[in-house]
Amino acid sequence: MNQFPPLTDQFANLMADTKKIFDESGINDILSSTELVEKRLKICGGCKHWEASRCKLCGCFMETKARFKALKCPIGKW
């Protein structure tokens, strides 16, 4: 069975992503369009690292991560 990263790494990823959201985006321009979210999640759904709506590399819930423009796939697929 595949494991997600340790909780400490998942927390560090969450904090880094949160910083990116506020550093790279204006408060009124942080969310992705519905079309972009759907495109990102389609890519995730076909990835070998996807499991139960999460990425096995970063541990993120990708349905949430895909909604923020400033955030990226950990291996650069989007």
Q: Which tokens belong to 8?
A: 């400490």
Q: Is residue 17 part of a domain?
A: no
Domain count of the chain?
1
Domain limits for position 42: 35-73
Determine, yes or no, domain membership for 46. yes
Residue 54 lies in a domain: yes
Q: Does residue 3 form part of some domain?
A: no
On average, the pLDDT of the chain sits at: 89
pLDDT at position 73, please?
97
Residues 6+ apart with CB under 8 A from 49: 55, 56, 57, 75
Kindly report the pTM of this predicted structure: 0.70
